[in-house]
A and B are shown apart, each in its own frame.
Chain A
Amino acid sequence: MLRYLFKRLLLAIPVLWVMVSVIFILSRILPGTFGEQILLADEGFYGNGAKQERALAYQQLLERTNQQLPVFYVGLTPLSESNTSQNYSYLLPQFTWHGAQNQYHLWVSALLTGSLGESFASARPVNAMIGEAAANTFWILSISMVLTMLLALVLGTSMVLGKGIRLRRIILPALIVLDSFPFFVLCLLMLLLFANPDMLQLFPAFGLGFLAPGHESGFLQTLQQFPYFVLPILCLVLANLPYLTNQFYTSLAGTMQAEYIRTAHAKGLTPFQVVTHHALRNALLPVITILSDMIPALVAGAVVIEVIFAIPGIGRLLVTSVLARDFPVIVGIVVVIALVKMLSHVVADICYALVDPRIKQDAR
């Protein structure tokens, strides 16, 4: 099994590499560069510096941040610059070799030493920025994922048990209604319902509270911040619950039709025992795949959650960086998300093996 996992990890590395490289190149091709606002300083009732001085300062910024270098080893000559009047050579792309002096090469060289670079905007190491932001996102995503899974499991199981039909008539339409809410609207609704003095003022509306200097860590901090996490976690749970419950239910309902389940019933086991001892293991297999695929969706949810609830995390850092064209931070976050995604697939493989021993055998 370990050999199998090791093989999976090795295979994942080139995929990860290609994915991150594509993101790196695409992000740099986006219109706009970091610091472009230097050129726009004239848009007012007076000029904030002469035009040529601003162009010089902008050039200095590009050089400091290596943005003036070509993006990749190879470049394509724009059609407007290529000689199209003489022949039909423009039908084939014209490549230019840039050598090692390119942004990608410099970034990869730094990455191999464990550095994701420095933020253009704050000059802080990207590793440190992501490290700071990741904690909140990790807790919100982990807790919401566990809660969603448990709730979906309970609801899915309840719907296939004895009085399940009656329960199904209530739960399934309710989940469809819940699923029809756009996530952004759901978050705002929760805020307006549970953090509003005009309705129910049960939870704080924003942030993670204030901590006096010197009281930044420890159990008290966690306890004080707990209420601030309730609404964001609740929103993520409600957003993911319909899909996951439906998958659990469909998978369980299918398994319940199998011959061995009939045998289990014939043995005199209670319906609950049949589900928990026999049906659940097999029904879990497709759900594990879904759970491992949920990670990127959860990160997308974290973007909305963190912006609306003013919680500092990976999602909000990503939004801020994209708007500011802070490329090292954007690519750093993508690397981290891709890594998590890769690890989640490995964890899914382990879970498969635990749930179904036949997979372990095949791996050998």
Chain B
Amino acid sequence: MRKIYPFLYCFFLFFSFCSQPQRQPDEVRVRLTSDPQTLNPANYSDPSGLRVINLLFNSLLGVDLADNELKPVLAESMPLIEQKGATTHITYELREAAKWTNGSAITSDDIAFTLKVLKAPLVQNEQIKPQVAFIRDLILDEENNRKFTFVCEGFTPEMELLSGDFFILPAYLFDPENLLKSIPVAAFSDSLSKLENNKNIKAFAARFNTAAFNNSGQQLQGSAGYVLEKWAPGQYLTLKQKDDWWGKSINVPHLTANPKRITLQVIPENTPALLALKNRQLDVLEDIPAREFDQLKTNKALLKDYTLFTPASYGSVYVGLNSRLPKFSDKETRQAIAHLLDVANYIKITQQQYATPTVGIIPPNLKEYYNTDLKPYAFNLVKAKALLTKAGWQQRQSGWFRNVNGTVQQLTIKLSYKASNTVLEATALIFQESAAKLTIPVEVEAQEGNLFNTNCREHNFEMMLRTLNGNPFAFNFEPLLHTSHAEKGGTNYTGFGNAESDALLQQINKAGTKAEKARLLKELQAVMYSEATFIPLYYLKERLAIHKRFGNTKVSGLKPYYDVSAFLLQK
């Protein structure tokens, strides 16, 4: 009998684990795929950090995920933009109700302080600094301490967005000794070498660069509706709703802090994240792999508690051909390769149909800008063969050959992509098979992320598969497609473009009306389609699940695909 006791103890201990931890109904628990590197609002770089900082700090403008529109957050209204010669003046007025955690009002001085922190030398601000470099000076309104004007260099269409898209920092908390107050904003726009020896900046940087500004709830108190309650590194972060947040006193639907507590749980792998969802330990799960998402659709028990969403996202997959290489320098060859891309099959196999084919860089859901006159390239061996012949390639038993600068060259393709991306890997393998049908040898090469980026920048690739994230706010494609960005180190990796396309890109940026912009964007899509250097394949549909006890979830195609601060408990 005595021998049975240890077994009984083990048995009860074993089954005591069966219960899952109890949940509070007014707590929203979401997943982070990685621990934030830092919560420093002046120097964040990773998406996890940005998601948390978004709940702690406000910016002047923000995106309302209910309609994907840019709306005023700390600003009273959208800014007034005036072009004055070589400069652009962007004038904002802050909301009267906007307050810091200690109850003091947010004023133009806080905006000036924020700009100084983001521009200062010696301070950890390298990630955000380039974003505000176009703001050269700040003019404060003498009569109204909530009104100010950014003096900006030149004009680009994204200026409105960028001028309102940085977190405003509390001067009273971050610089209690007013070390930066005496230095004007304009001084930070000139050569910074003089300021590097400034005692006040040195003292401020020494304090600001400490870990407290990266992870301490005491220090990271912004104007948004939450404070950092706890950060268990590598595990979770909990954010607590502020008791008397200013946003509650004004009736603005996109300014919300509804859940009492938000927990962001770090779960790097998809399998435990899916199990956490099935165990009701997560309220939201996004980026669900397509196959698993289809399985969830048939899980009746889960569907009782969760709603599944598939919003059209702004993320796409594209193929880039290095047009600088002699074998890809003519558009007939590139078009032939485009006809070997079996997009329908890619979508079926890698995305389980959760994607939409596209003719160009504009997402198909942006109907006013999308060129419906064009038809996406379809897999067509006959057309591909004809185009190769037209380009001067001759088919022999072992493949396609052409005389390039006096030497006979075979048409071979080296296709590279970022390693560990299974979607791109499958796409590359399908392409390899498709090309083999036309006796074109394709070498598939998965490259480590940093190496892949370096190779793209150095033009050290033949054909590549890559993802691209877009948005519905700005369409300045110059960095991606203008020839001025096509030198080594630039972001026009494929070498797309000529004088005409450059002019078109500049016209798009200067377009005065929506109709004109739409016409020019459609023209750009037609040019890109014909050139077939930068070939967008499809736009993804996001796949996410949200617990049914919450309403007002504001599901959107823009990251992070829902607004957790808006979640309301359903009655």
Contacts and interface: CB of A to CB of B under 8 A. Distances in A.
Interface of A: 30-32, 35-51, 53-54, 56-58, 60-61, 64, 121-125, 129, 132-133, 188, 191-192, 195-198, 201-211, 213, 227, 230, 307-313, 316-317, 320, 323-325
Interface in B467-520: 468-471, 473-480, 485, 489-491
Interface stretch (B54-62, B70-78, B155-163, B176-184): B155-163
B4 interface: no
A48 B130 contact: yes
A207 B35 CA distance: 12
A312 B272 contact: no
B267 A324 contact: no
Contact-size category for B? 35 or more
Contacts of B211: 122-125
Contacts of A57: 126-127, 129-130
23 contacts: A32-B451, A35-B126, A43-B491, A45-B470, A49-B130, A50-B130, A50-B133, A51-B490, A56-B130, A60-B126, A122-B214, A123-B124, A123-B214, A133-B233, A195-B275, A206-B272, A210-B238, A310-B269, A311-B234, A312-B235, A312-B266, A317-B234, A320-B34
Given A32-B454, A46-B157, A310-B267, A202 B18 contact: yes
B234 A42 contact: no
Contact of B131 (A48, A56, A209): A48
Given A54-B130, A312-B234, A188 B266 contact: no
B45 interface: yes
Contact of B234 (A30, A32, A38, A316): A316
Given A32-B453, A46-B476, A307 B268 contact: yes
Interface string B133-167: 11000000000000000000000111001100000
A46 B475 contact: yes
B235 A308 contact: no
B453 A49 contact: no
B15 interface: yes
B398 interface: no
A48 to B, nearest CB: 5
Nearest to A132: B233
Interface string B292-311: 00000000010000000000
A45 B130 contact: no
Contacts of A54: 130
B69 interface: no
A260 B176 CA distance: 81
B201 to A, nearest CB: 13
Contacts of A37: 45, 127
B130 A53 contact: yes
B20 A47 contact: no
B399 to A, nearest CB: 32
Contacts of A204: 17, 20-21, 279, 281
A207 B126 contact: no
Nearest to A32: B450
Nearest to B452: A31
A246 B238 CA distance: 47
A249 to B, nearest CB: 26
B271 interface: yes
A207 B130 contact: no
Contacts, number: 204
A310 B236 CA distance: 10
For the complex, would chain A's binding face be called helix, strand, loop or mixed by DSSP majority? loop
B121 interface: yes
Given A50-B130, A123-B210, A307-B269, A213 B234 contact: no
Nearest to A133: B234
B162 A48 contact: yes
Closest 9 CB pairs of A and B: A312-B234, A32-B450, A49-B130, A42-B479, A53-B133, A205-B275, A46-B158, A121-B37, A46-B474
A323 B418 CA distance: 13
A41 B18 contact: no
Contact of B236 (A30, A41, A196, A210): A210
Contact of B235 (A42, A124, A207): A207
A240 B489 CA distance: 47
Contacts of A320: 34-35
Nearest to B420: A323
Nearest to A197: B278
Nearest to B18: A202
Interface string B17-52: 110110000000000001101100000010000000
B14 interface: yes
B38 A123 contact: yes
Interface string B203-244: 000000111001100000000000001101111101000000
Contacts of A30: 450
B490 A312 contact: no
Contact of B478 (A47, A121, A124, A125): A47
B453 A36 contact: yes
Given A48-B130, A49-B129, 19 more contacts: A42-B491, A45-B474, A46-B156, A46-B157, A49-B132, A51-B479, A56-B129, A57-B126, A57-B130, A123-B211, A129-B233, A192-B271, A198-B278, A206-B265, A206-B267, A307-B268, A308-B272, A312-B233, A312-B235
B497 to A, nearest CB: 15
B189 to A, nearest CB: 11
Contacts of A191: 271-272, 275
Contacts of A38: 126-127, 130
Given A205-B281, A310-B266, A122 B130 contact: no
A211 B15 CA distance: 22
Contacts of A49: 129-134
Given A36-B453, A204-B20, A42 B480 contact: yes
B268 A316 contact: yes
Nearest to A59: B126
Given A50-B134, A191-B275, A43 B454 contact: no
Contacts of B268: 307, 310, 316
A208 B131 contact: no
A44 B279 contact: no
A201 B18 contact: yes
A64 B45 CA distance: 16
B208 to A, nearest CB: 10
A203 B14 CA distance: 9
Contacts of A207: 235-236, 265-267
A47 B476 contact: yes
Nearest to B302: A197
Given A50-B133, A324-B37, A40 B491 contact: yes
A38 B44 CA distance: 11
Contacts of A202: 14-15, 17-18
B491 A208 contact: no
Contact of B471 (A36, A44, A311, A325): A44
A210 B281 CA distance: 11
A129 B34 CA distance: 16
B21 A210 contact: yes
B449 interface: yes
Contacts of B37: 121-122, 324
B276 interface: yes
B338 interface: no
A107 to B, nearest CB: 19
Contacts of B335: none
B111 to A, nearest CB: 19
Nearest to B362: A45
Nearest to A62: B126
B96 interface: no
Given A45-B477, A123-B38, A205 B272 contact: yes
Given A38-B127, A122-B215, A211-B232, A45 B454 contact: no
A182 to B, nearest CB: 14
Contacts of B20: 201, 204
B457 interface: yes
B442 interface: no
Contacts of A51: 479, 485, 490
A230 B129 CA distance: 46
